[in-house]
């Protein structure tokens, strides 16, 4: 039934009309694009409608309202479900300055350009592209992992900011997910931790439709998901018909009434297409339905069969009277509360405002250590731990932890009051992820999306377990911090299974990721300064297990050059070197040793410390050429990692001392000798490069 006057429709008819509008927008968008997934949005339309219209605490006029409920579409292939909701509820556009604009985040013409170049409606939801999208999803399982981080952030924010009479934070997190999410291992990791932490503000809605790309889930998946989640410690309820709005409402109320832990709502869905064949297959997954099937399905809905992108009279008004009115009243009430809060607790109000704008508080860098020169020196993981503890005292919303490795990664906050983030005690700053690296990456992303400065840590080799969330954080342009230690064959006797070789070069290939591998303790300080000032870039801090010399900065250049990615640490007396020695991390001291040896032989060398390729590549061409003069073709790069990528800096006559094989299980000194990481080998390579460069000039 499509009516022209809202007054002619009952509440039940408006519900049906609104749900079918979501469905037909999805069908039309996918059909016009000839690409996409219409089935999931159509099946989940009543589930999402009930949540948004009757339960979600969200104001479309202010999608940045800090205490809004979060909606995560983990099954991101159902993106048209979200785009339709953003359009129909009137969610506003937000610019890069966090200003809410008087225009729609998703216009109807955006939906008409679904999956097309430069559209606000790409194939999967993207956080930085479309206002109202809380996180970028698509790789299955990532969204539910993010939702755990958002729920954890909500609990911490309540503990830090709430005061008697001022409940600033009490939001809930809803994540829609499907069979694919449940099969991915990350969902098990994230669900296990969520239950352990008793995150009562977290609700997953599982679309139990038994369909994946290959066909029926019986091909590979027949476990009892409800029993699995009950085993974790979740509250579980079941809705046997996705079209039963009353049952859906009871399920959402079941979640709201549960305070013992997270909730899983299992929803059985079945898509009724126009033709019997489509009804039998349940889902046209990953392809348009076809014009005839769209026409027949619209006929089933009582829809004008030849209408495209139709939004009947009364639908927008219905949403405005539901989520729009409720959300506006809740947000305005919160703003009044916050205004009074600011009068009584001005410091905390300032903290919240700074945090929401990703700004740092005054004095964020006070009391940072300066490390004296020391031939033995601390491991960079050790100096990093000291710097982190100072920063965390200065920045109250700097929070994080490790995947069961903080004694090794030195990421535990040890100052008075830091505490542990635990079930029913959410004020702690130390997070314990357990041996769940993949979930840790996604959870830290979720916390960052909630505007906390969040970090996670493990060994560099285990970054392989969390590549998807690392990549997505960079895609979302959020300032997540990864602290990866045990960065090379310097790990020693644990052997090649634990010695990263290809990890650092491959991580550098991720666009926008700021890599930082400091060479001594004072470079660690400068690296953390860079990291904390990032607002829209993810950072990767790569640290040693073994001790490294702390360089004498009265003899060599200031470590402040770290901010430029690469800088001249030591130079020829006349500034005209015959050879340039380049290194990151622990290998920097090898180049310094080689530099001093070459000097005694009358060979003029320059040492370039290069802790960050990403930062250096964003410097001016003039600066880059001042560090690497084009006329100096003799160059040697030294790094305990695969050689990939160094050719761009050493050229055809340069040499790279790196890894061409996996490492080995042996004491460090034996490994360094075996693989050529000694000052003598650097000197030898320098001379060879000088010889090659002279030959090329002749």
Q: Please report the pLDDT score of residue 281 as a whole number.
A: 43
> CB atoms < 10 A from the CB of 591, how many?
29
Q: Please report the pLDDT score of residue 282 as a whole number.
A: 38
Size of the chain in residues: 698
What class does CATH assign to 559-697?
alpha beta
Query: Given a cut of 60, is residue 428 above it in pLDDT?
Result: yes
The CA distances from residue 679 to 579, 598, 616, 660, in Å, are 15, 10, 25, 19
Distance CA 599, CA 592 (A): 11
Location of structure tokens 């640490």: 569
Location of structure tokens 């829609």: 176
Token pair of 665 as six digits: 């299980």
Strands 235-239 and 263-268, sheet pairing: parallel
Query: Given a cut of 90, is residue 380 above it in pLDDT?
Result: yes
The helix (H) or strand (E) run that includes residue 349 is helix 346-356
Q: 507 and 515 in contact (C-beta within 8 Å)?
A: yes
Distance CA 285, CA 585 (A): 48
Distance CA 144, CA 74 (A): 6
Location of structure tokens 């008004």: 317
Tell me whether residue 230 is one of the annotated catalytic residues. no
Positions of E strands within 190-323:
202-208, 211-212, 215-216, 235-239, 263-268
Nearest to 541 by CA among 628, 631, 471, 456: 456
DSSP string, 240-277: S-TT-HHHHHHHHHHHHH--SS-EEEEEE-----SSHH
Q: What is the DSSP secondary structure assignment for residue 324, as one 8-state letter?
A: I
Q: What is the DSSP secondary structure assignment for residue 502, as one 8-state letter?
A: S
Distance CA 622, CA 657 (A): 27
DSSP string, 516-549: E--SSHHHHHHHHHHHHH-SS--EEEE--SSB--
Q: At what angle do helices 437-449 and 467-476 cross, to 10 degrees?
A: 20
Percent of the chain with pLDDT over 70: 96
Q: Please report the pLDDT score of residue 286 as a whole number.
A: 60
Q: Please report the pLDDT score of residue 283 as a whole number.
A: 45
Q: Comparing 6-331 with 380-542, is the CATH topology the same?
A: yes
Q: What is the largest CA-CA distance in the chain?
A: 95
DSSP string, 46-90: HHHHHHHHHT----TT-TT-TTPPEEEESSGGGHHHHHHHHHHHT
Q: Please report the pLDDT score of residue 213 as a whole number.
A: 65
Given its phi and psi angles, is residue 634 left (phi above 0), alpha (psi -120 to 50 degrees) or beta?
beta
What is the dotted CATH code of the domain comprising 380-542? 3.40.50.970
Query: Given a cut of 70, is residue 117 above it in pLDDT?
Result: yes
- Dihedral sign for Cα 632, 636, 641, 647, please: positive
For residue 382, what are the contacts with CB-CB under 8 A and spacing of at least 6?
410, 521
**Average pLDDT, rounded, for the chain:** 94
**Domain residues of the chain, as ranges?**
6-331, 380-542, 559-697
Cα separation of the two ends of the chain: 85
> Could you give the angle at the alpha carbon of 558 between the alpha carbons of 557 and 559, nearest 5°?
115
Q: Please report the pLDDT score of residue 6 as a whole number.
A: 43
Query: How large is the average pLDDT for residues 203-217?
Result: 80
Q: Please report the pLDDT score of residue 272 as a whole number.
A: 60
Query: How large is the average pLDDT for residues 32-47?
Result: 94
What is the tens place of the pLDDT at every residue in 547-598? 999 999 999 999 999 999 999 999 999 999 999 999 999 999 999 999 999 9
Q: Please report the pLDDT score of residue 1 as a whole number.
A: 47
Q: Please report the pLDDT score of residue 214 as a whole number.
A: 61
> CB atoms < 10 A from the CB of 636, how many?
28
Decide if domain 6-331 falls under CATH 3.40.50.970.
yes
Distance CA 626, CA 545 (A): 33
Percent of the chain with pLDDT over 90: 91
Query: How large is the average pLDDT for residues 32-51?
Result: 94
Q: Please report the pLDDT score of residue 274 as a whole number.
A: 62
Q: What is the DSSP secondary structure assignment for residue 176, as one 8-state letter?
A: E
Distance CA 303, CA 16 (A): 12
Q: Please report the pLDDT score of residue 210 as a whole number.
A: 72
For residue 449, what are the contacts with CB-CB under 8 A and spacing of at least 6?
127, 134, 135, 146, 149, 150, 476, 478
State the burial class of residue 336 (Cβ atoms within 10 Å of its Cβ: 0-12, 13-18, 19+): exposed
What is the tens place of the pLDDT at every residue in 132-180? 999 999 999 999 999 999 999 999 999 999 999 999 999 999 999 999 9
Query: How large is the average pLDDT for residues 48-73?
Result: 98
Q: How confident is the model at residue 457 (pLDDT cuts 50, 70, 90)?
A: very high
Rg (CA), the chain: 28
Query: How large is the average pLDDT for residues 94-104?
Result: 94
Distance CA 481, CA 484 (A): 10
Query: Given a cut of 80, is residue 271 above it in pLDDT?
Result: no
Q: Which of 93, 189, 437, 538 is catalytic?
A: 437
The CA distances from residue 413 to 151, 384, 391, 421, 539, in Å, are 22, 11, 10, 12, 19
Q: Please report the pLDDT score of residue 280 as a whole number.
A: 38
């Amino acid at each position: 039934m499509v009516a022209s006057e809202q007054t002619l429709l009952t509440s039940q008819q408006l519900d049906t009309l609104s749900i079918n509008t979501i469905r037909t927008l999805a069908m039309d968008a996918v059909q016009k694009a000839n690409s996409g997934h219409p089935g999931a949005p159509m099946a989940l339309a009543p589930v999402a409608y009930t949540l948004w219209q009757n339960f979600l605490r969200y104001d479309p006029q202010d999608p940045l309202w800090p205490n809004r409920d979060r909606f995560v579409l983990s099954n991101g292939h159902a993106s048209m479900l979200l785009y339709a909701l953003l359009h129909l509820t009137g969610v506003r556009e937000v610019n890069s300055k966090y200003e809410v604009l008087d225009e729609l985040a998703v216009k109807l013409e955006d939906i008409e350009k679904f999956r097309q170049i430069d559209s606000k409606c790409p194939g999967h939801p993207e956080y930085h592209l479309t206002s109202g999208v809380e996180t970028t999803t698509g790789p299955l399982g990532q969204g539910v992992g993010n939702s755990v981080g958002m729920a954890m952030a909500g609990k911490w924010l309540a503990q830090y900011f709430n005061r008697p009479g001022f409940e600033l934070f009490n939001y809930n997190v809803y994540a829609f997910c499907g069979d694919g999410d449940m099969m991915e291992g990350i969902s098990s990791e994230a669900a296990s931790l969520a239950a352990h932490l008793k995150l009562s503000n977290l609700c997953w809605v599982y679309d139990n439709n038994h369909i994946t790309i290959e066909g029926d889930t019986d091909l590979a998946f027949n476990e009892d998901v409800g029993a699995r989640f009950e085993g974790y410690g979740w509250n579980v309820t079941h809705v046997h018909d996705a079209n039963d709005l009353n049952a859906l409402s009871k399920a959402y109320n079941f979640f709201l009434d549960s305070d013992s832990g997270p909730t899983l709502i299992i929803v059985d869905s079945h898509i009724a297409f126009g033709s019997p064949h489509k009804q039998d297959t349940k889902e046209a997954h990953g392809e348009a339905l076809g014009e005839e099937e769209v026409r027949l399905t619209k006929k089933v809905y009582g829809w004008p069969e030849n209408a495209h992108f139709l939004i009947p009279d009364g639908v927008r008004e219905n949403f405005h009277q539901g989520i729009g009115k409720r959300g506006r009243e809740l947000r305005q009430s919160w703003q009044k509360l916050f205004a009074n809060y600011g009068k009584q607790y001005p410091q905390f109000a300032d903290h919240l405002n700074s945090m929401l704008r990703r700004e740092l508080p005054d004095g964020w860098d006070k009391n940072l250590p300066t490390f004296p020169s020391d031939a033995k020196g601390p491991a960079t993981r050790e100096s990093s731990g000291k710097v982190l503890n100072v920063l965390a005292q200065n920045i109250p919303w700097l929070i994080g932890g490790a995947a069961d490795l903080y004694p090794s990664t030195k990421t535990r906050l040890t100052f008075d009051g830091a505490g542990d983030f635990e079930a029913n005690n959410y004020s702690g700053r130390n997070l314990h992820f357990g041996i769940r690296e993949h979930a840790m990456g996604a959870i830290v992303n979720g916390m960052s999306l909630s505007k906390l400065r969040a970090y996670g840590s493990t060994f560099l080799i285990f970054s392989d377990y969390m590549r998807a969330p690392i990549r997505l954080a960079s895609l979302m342009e959020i300032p997540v911090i990864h602290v990866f230690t045990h960065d090379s064959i310097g790990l020693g006797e644990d052997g090649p299974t634990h010695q990263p070789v290809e990890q650092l070069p491959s991580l550098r290939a991720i666009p926008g990721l700021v890599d930082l591998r400091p060479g001594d303790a004072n470079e660690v300080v400068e690296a953390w300064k860079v990291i904390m000032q990032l607002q829209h870039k993810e950072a990767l801090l790569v640290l040693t297990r073994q001790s490294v010399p702390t360089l004498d900065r009265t003899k060599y250049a200031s470590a402040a050059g770290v901010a430029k990615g690469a800088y001249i640490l030591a130079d020829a007396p006349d500034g005209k070197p015959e050879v340039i020695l380049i290194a990151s991390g622990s290998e920097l001291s090898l180049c310094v040793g080689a530099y001093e040896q070459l000097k005694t032989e009358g060979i003029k060398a320059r040492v370039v410390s290069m802790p960050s390729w990403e930062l250096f590549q964003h410097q001016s061409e003039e600066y880059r050429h001042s560090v690497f003069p084009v006329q100096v073709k003799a160059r040697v790069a030294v790094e305990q990692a695969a050689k990939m990528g160094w050719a761009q800096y050493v050229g055809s006559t340069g040499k790279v001392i790196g890894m061409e094989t996996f490492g080995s299980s042996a004491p460090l000194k034996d490994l360094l000798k075996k693989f050529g990481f000694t000052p003598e080998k650097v000197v030898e390579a320098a001379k060879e490069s000088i010889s090659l460069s002279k030959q090329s000039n002749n």
